Each structure stands twice: as structure tokens, then as C-alpha cells.
Chain A
Amino acid sequence: MKTRILIFAIFSVVLVACQPEIDEFQASKGNADFTKYVAIGNSLTSGYADAALYHSAQANSYPAIMAAQFAKVGGGNFIQPVVNSEYGVLSGKRVLDFAADCKGVVGLSPVPATGTPEGLAHVGYAVNNFGVPGAKSYHLLAQNYGNPAGLVTTPMTANPYFVRFASSPSISVMEDVMAAQGTFFSLWVGNNDILGYATAGGENTQGDSITPVNFFSVIYNGLVSTLTSTGAKGVLANIPDITEIPFFTTVTYNGLVLTAEQAVQLNGAYAQVEAYLASIGVPYQYNFNFQAGANAFVIEDRNFPIAALPKALKVRQIQPGELILLTVPQDSMKCYGMGSFSTAALMPFGIPQNYVLDAQEVAIINNATAAYNVVIKAAAESKGLALADMNSHLRNLKSGLIYDGLTFTTTFVTGGVFSLDGVHLNQQGAAVVANFFIDAINKTYSASVPKAEVTQYPGILFP
């Protein structure tokens, strides 16, 4: 009898589960329909990275990452206008590599990649990703935006990236979008309406003025009305504060590092310039002040009070909050005195205006960004759409975002989010952004779309 009890007891011990199974994640589409997802936007949406649209970055564009997650809640195929080349559609791709600067110092920096551009051959199929690098809000409505003939006109009336997949030469991006009959959409436009101005240093030399807010509002509300006219649901994203992206923050205003001796020399040189100006009857106090350590760079001053002077003399030191662009010629700064004083010309050598956003320009950008975001928020609210607040997310990113042991910041290269062009996302950054979208979608549509696993996407490739 006792033995039987013992047997029974031992059996009950043994008859317990052997594999540690955890209940599966309960994915749900909520009240959205992801059957056919279409993504509308610009370079960020296309998967453009490292100053190029190339194969692997496109494969992990944020819409492609989102679509892979949507597939777990009923989403269908997501077709992109595939770029086969790792070099890209057009030339310009950057890679991280060792390079010597003008002083012969070898360091790690983004350098031009080697390769042959794939060119603009039409992909020959319909797509779901309507991200067109370079597109501003109103370009999405432009007829002939994908017409190859428009690439050789002056000014260009077509976009080379849209030429690759426009269903006909005359059609607009939005017409193609609506023909795709998406059940769910994402719309992230407006960035280029401001960015073009900003990356030109605020100089209106290439026709890159900021799209006026009233005009943007009309265009944007038109886009959203069209997209929702079929009953489709979607997610909008607002405009991040672009003055916080590495393109504008990497070269700091006070990056002029001097020894005590160099500071004395510079102070002396500018005293002489002042003395010269006084001698020709142009009294102007530069108020230059250089000391050992970090100093504010010298920039060309757009608003110099005395206009009738040679350009080289109309300079001042940059103020905190004013920005220097990533594209500023580093060798000129390191070896030829740009940003301080040209020893060759014995003249002040300010950083040219097209590499600088001064306080006025920064204010114009910030005001436009804020105004655009009011328009975008109102559109989301009036149509009941999800809104990914990229503006707040980027601000939070500044102080660091930790994901599964990875720390992301807005720092160039090492921050892990931005690619080597300092504007666009790298693939891990795209996954981070995809999750911002998914968060907004889950909240608005009571869905449980599984988040993308950021650690499963590559970051910047080191040599």
C-alpha cells in the first residue's frame, strides 16, 4: 500500500511539463486594417541613408520595418522600388573609413564610397513605398514629377527617384498612391519644406526657401483629406526640430581650440584689422576675444553694419545657438584658417554664410517647424488619425534613449540613430522610428502591433 502511494507520488512528480513555454505575445490589429499598407513621404520614408538610396538601407527603411510587423496582424506584402546596388541609385554614398586630413592626421571619418550608380531605370512594377527623396509637401501633387524629360530641364521639374517607379510620366505621386488603394497609410512630409533652406545655410541661392505655412497647411490638409477619402486609416508624423540633428550640431560653435600663444596672435591680428579700419575712417569694434582653450569660430556676418566693405572684413564671432553645417570644409578650417584668420591672405577668414545658420535663420526654422506641427496635429485630430510625435522623440533622444543595452543619442556616428549624412536614419535608427510609429498606432487604434526588435538591425558599419 505504501509502495503504491510512493509510486503515485513519483509519477505525479514526473508528469509535469518539461519545456519552459511562455504564453505567446497576443498581437492584434485593433480597429485598423493593415491589409495593404502604403507609405508616403520623402527620403526618410524611402530608406535613404549615408547620402544615398542603396539596397540594404532601403530594405530596412522604417516603412519596411513597420510592414514586417504589420504582417503579424494581417498585413500583406510591402513592395519597395528595389535598389539592387549597395552603392545606390545616384552617386554620393558615404562610408566610414580611415582618412588623412590636411595635416596628415589619420582618423575615422565619413568618406565617399566607391562604386557605380545604378541609374534611373524604371522598376516596372507598382509599389507600396512612395517615399521620394527630395520631395517637399507640394511635390507630391505635381504632375510630371516622374517624367524623365523633366530631369534635363532648368530648373528640373521631375524627381529622379520618382522617375524609377512612377506608373506613367505625367502622373503625380499622390495619384499613384491613391491607385494603390491602401487600407492603411503613413504620411511623413514637410521635413524638406524646411530642411532645404536649412542645409543651404539659409541662403536662398538654390531656390530653397521655406514653404510658407499657409501654403503648407493647404497642401497638407489636402493630402490628408485625399488619403482618408477612401476610409483608410493611418498615421501622421510631425517634423522634428532639424536644428537638433547631427548635420547642424556636430561642428560646435566653440570648436576653435587655441593655445595661449595662438590666442595672443589672433587677438593681435584682429586689433590690427580694427586699427586699419579706423585709419580708413571706418570705426568698428569687433569685440573679438580669443583665449586659450575653446573659442567661438569667426563667421561671415550677413548683417554686418557697414555694408561697403570687402567680404573678408565683414565678420564676427559666432554666438551660442547659431549653427555650423556638417558640410563645412574641414580642411579649410584645420589648415587654412577658415573660422579664424587666414595667415596666407593676412585677412580675417569667416566661415561662409552658406555653412552657417545664424540666430535669425534658426528662429525662422524653429517658427516654421512649430507652425507646421500645429497644422499636422490639427489634421490628425480632425481625421482621428494616429500621430507619431517625432519632434518630442528627437528631443528625448538628445538626452539618450536606451534599448536593450544599446544607447542611442543624436550624436553623429556614435549616437547610433543617424547615418553618415547626419540627416537620415541608419537602419537601427529606422527601427527606433518604426517603433515610434507603432506606439502611436497601437494607442490610437487599440492595436497590439508587435514592436520591431532594434537589436536585430545593423547600425553604422565600422571599418
Chain B
Amino acid sequence: MRKTLLVLSCFGMMATTVLAGGYQVRLQGARQTGMGLIGTPLAFGSSSIFYNPGAMGFSKSRFDFTVGGSAIISRMSFQSINSDYTAKTDNPVSPPFFAYGQAKITDRLTAGIGVYTPYGSKSVWPDDWKGRYLIQNISLQAIYIQPTVSYKVTDWMGFGAGLVYVHGKVELEKGVPYNEGSKANLKGSANNLGFNVGVFARPTEKLSIGIDYRSHVDAKVEGGDATFTIPAGVSSLIPATNKFDASLPLPANLDIGIAYQVTDKLLLAVEFDYVFWGKYDSISFTFAQSGNILSSVNPRMYSDRLIPRIGAEYSLNDKLQFRLGAYYDQTPTSEDYFNPETVSLNTIAVSCGVTYKPIENLRIDFSYLQLHGLESERAYLPANFTGKYRSFTAIPGIGINYSF
């Protein structure tokens, strides 16, 4: 009964959104998500491929496979500052996913591969909303594929490194100030490479420490498709179809965490993630035709941010574990260059999770993360667009791990 209640209280309320800092989505493991997205100082099997490749070799099993995903259900509200105008997004559910597999080649050497989606964003504002000349809707997704090797230098320390192949996709729509319904649709994809390196150490039975660095990747769209839905009267100025180039930075992360096994049943962890958002100072769109009218450089002025996280895991028995976590994510956006394409606010996040192990080698991890984007007045000065924003995100997630 108690167990049922616990499970219900955690997942009964699948209400409503997330994107924490910027457009980063750190939902690469259901177990880590339950603990406030802490993963660097934890050796939770093959999901270490993302969180800390240095920890891969600390898996007890020879083979370890993890798959899972989440459903990001997000709502953002906008309120004009000098009128009673309000707008709310109608965002579709965004489904980040992950899949990892690893195998011990020797006692010390582990190899694996991971596929995951650490950046993404989906916002759909009403068609006639007052910010439509900034953004109407946007869908952004980056899939990372990461082959990785990890080497245990000693029994208590390992390091790992992975090469990251990034495939990014973006589609956005914004209004064009001609007749009602005039709009521009931009669609493109990008491929690039990066890396992920980590060190994991367990100096005592109870203490573990992890450091991980994931590199900056530029998602460069070249020759993306631009389609303009505009009256014939302006087609001599703006061609209906066009090509564009743009580049979106996917920033580097430096994560440091410590975990401590307080009792046999209770594990506590803290982590600090430093996200190098400062690289994102502007985004430019360069068009092949009518570039003098259409091309633009748009300031974003993001700042680097440090995210503190805490998390706990409690093992009730061999079959059940519970998790709790929380973190505070300060928005990397600028007060004066806040574009509603990415409604990233100072965010308080709380998480919980539960694991059920039906048999020895199989675990099913459920997680639930809830983000509260705190109300804030923000402006995008180049468009003289100011308002108050608030967001709410609910993210139920599931992961399945099989190891042997």
C-alpha cells in the first residue's frame, strides 16, 4: 500500500514544461533525472557514456544496455507590460530519448556507444500572437552519437573519452509584416563533431567523485530552405523560396559531482555543472537572395552559468528504490536580448523517481521532473518587445536497463 502510494504520488500528477537553461535538455538517464539530473559522480551503468565516460568501467556487469526517454510537457505564458495582453504557448510534447550499450573488453577496458538528445526546444505560440515577428514556432533538436572507450587506471579510478557526432535539425517560423498570415519558414540541418571526456574516482567504499567535460559544438546550417508565404506584390523584393546559412552554438559543459553512500540504503549526491553559454552572443541568418533585406545578425548575449544540484536515492529493498532531487538553474539569457524563441527563465526544478527490479538483471526506472520558470520581465530591445514570462514544465520519463 505504502509503495503504491509512493508511486502514485510521484507519477499521479503528470500535469504540465522544461527547458531549463537555454535549450539544453539533460535528460539522458531516468535514474539520474530522478536525482536532480546528477550523473557525473555516479556509476549507474551504460548511461555513464553521457554523464561520465570515466565511470563506465565501474559497472558490475560485463554487458550493460539502457534505453529510455521522456515526454517534455511545457507551457509558457507571456504578459505585456503595458497592456492586458496575454499569450500562452501550445507546445507539442517533446520526446528526448537515449540509448546506450557497453561491454567490458578486459577488466580495465570498456567500450560502448550512446545515442542521446542533449539539446532541443519546441515552442508553438498562437498564430496571431504579438511576438510573431520575433518567433511563431520553433523546433530544435540535436541527436548525438557517441562511441566511447573507458579505461580503469586503478581499481578506484577510471577515465573515458568519446567522440561525438552531432546531427542537428531546426525548423522555425516567424511572421513577416505584410498581409495577415505572411510568414517565413526556415528549415535546415547540420552535422558536426565534438567530444566527451570524464574522470571517475571512488577513493573509499562510500565516496565517489566525477568530473566530465563535453565540448562545444557549432550546429552550422548551410543551404537551409527558406520559404516565404507573402503577397505577390512583394515577391519582387523577397523571393518565395530562398536558401540560408545560420549557426547555433551547442555549448560546452564542465560537470563536477560528489556522491556519498551514507548508509546501505541511502545515497546522497551533489553536482555543479558549468555551462559555457557565453559563446552564444548572437545568431546570424545569411540569405542567398535578397540578402540586403533579409540577412540579419541577432544579439543573444548569453552568459556562462553554474547549476547546483542535489539528489538522493533510497533503496527500500532489493526490488524498489526511490529518488529525489532538486536544482536551481539560472537562465543564461540576457535581460535585454530575451527572444521568446527560447523562454529560458531562472528555474527551480524538483525531481523524483522510482525503480522497480522485477528480476536481478533488469531494472525499470521511472522519473518525474518538474520545472518552475520564475516570473520575470524581459525585453528584446532590437524589436522593442517587452513582457513578463513564466513557464512550467513537467517531464515524466522512463528508462530500462538490462545488464549481465
Contacts and interface: CB of A to CB of B under 8 A. Distances in A.
Contacts of B77: 19-22
A404 B383 contact: yes
Contacts of B79: 22-25
Nearest to A18: B15
A20 B388 CA distance: 11
Contacts of B81: 25
Contacts of B13: 14, 18
A154 interface: no
A24 B394 contact: no
A25 B324 contact: no
A280 interface: no
Nearest to B393: A20
A264 interface: no
Given A405-B134, A452-B83, A455-B133, A462 B9 contact: no
Given A10-B6, A13-B350, A404 B131 contact: yes
Interface in A380-415: 402-406
Given A452-B83, A462-B178, A405 B9 contact: no
Interface residues of B: mostly helix, strand, loop or mixed? mixed
Interface stretch (B61-69, B112-120, B214-222, B227-235): B227-235
A24 B84 CA distance: 7
A23 B17 CA distance: 19
Nearest to B394: A18
Given A27-B84, A451-B83, A405 B385 contact: yes
B133 A404 contact: yes
A401 to B, nearest CB: 8
A21 B390 contact: yes
B85 A461 contact: no
A455 B180 contact: no
Q: Which of A6, A20, A450 has the most CB of B within 10 A?
A: A20
Nearest to B314: A6
B82 A451 contact: yes
A13 B384 contact: no
B283 interface: no
B327 to A, nearest CB: 13
A3 interface: yes
Interface stretch (B52-60, B165-173, B368-376): B368-376
A451 B391 CA distance: 24
A10 B383 contact: no
Interface in B349-404: 350-352, 370, 372-373, 375, 382-385, 388-392, 394
Contacts of B322: 6
A277 B309 CA distance: 93
Interface in B196-238: 230-234
B133 A462 contact: no
B297 interface: no
A72 interface: yes
Interface in A1-19: 2-3, 6-7, 9-11, 13-14, 16-19
A339 interface: no
A69 B391 CA distance: 28
A25 B80 contact: yes
Contact of A10 (B9, B130, B179, B232): B9
A247 to B, nearest CB: 22
By size class, the interface of chain B is 35 or more
Interface in B119-165: 128, 130-134
Interface in A436-463: 450-453, 455-456, 458-459, 461-463
A335 interface: no
B242 interface: no
Nearest to B345: A20
A404 B384 contact: yes
By size class, the interface of chain A is 35 or more
B232 A463 contact: yes
Nearest to A107: B236
Contacts of B76: 20
A405 B76 CA distance: 20
B205 to A, nearest CB: 22
B10 interface: yes
B233 A463 contact: yes
Given A13-B352, A18-B392, A6 B324 contact: yes
A156 interface: no
A96 B233 CA distance: 9
B391 A20 contact: yes
A403 B233 contact: no
A33 to B, nearest CB: 20
Nearest to B385: A404
Contacts of A19: 16, 75, 77, 392
Given A17-B392, A96-B233, A463-B232, A3 B16 contact: no
Given A404-B130, A463-B233, A3 B2 contact: yes
A406 B86 contact: no
A416 B177 CA distance: 9
A10 B366 CA distance: 14
A462 B231 CA distance: 6
Nearest to B78: A22
A125 interface: no
A450 B83 contact: yes
Contacts of B350: 13, 16
Contacts of A18: 13, 15-16, 392, 394
Contacts of B373: 20
A148 B54 CA distance: 93
Contact of A405 (B84, B131, B179, B392): B131
Contact of A463 (B12, B15, B78, B231): B231
A405 B175 CA distance: 10
A98 B373 CA distance: 50
Interface in B65-112: 75-86, 88
Interface of B: 2, 5-6, 9-10, 12-13, 15-17, 75-86, 88, 128, 130-134, 175, 177-180, 230-234, 314, 316, 322, 324, 350-352, 370, 372-373, 375, 382-385, 388-392, 394
24 contacts: A2-B314, A3-B6, A7-B6, A7-B9, A10-B6, A10-B9, A10-B10, A14-B10, A19-B75, A20-B88, A20-B375, A22-B79, A25-B79, A405-B384, A406-B133, A416-B177, A453-B83, A458-B179, A458-B180, A459-B178, A462-B178, A462-B231, A462-B233, A462-B234
Which 5 pairs across A and B sit closest by C-beta, in order of nearness?
A405-B133, A462-B233, A18-B15, A462-B231, A405-B383
Given A458-B180, A463-B232, 17 more contacts: A6-B322, A7-B9, A10-B10, A13-B351, A14-B13, A17-B372, A18-B15, A20-B391, A21-B77, A22-B375, A24-B84, A98-B233, A406-B177, A416-B177, A450-B80, A453-B80, A458-B179
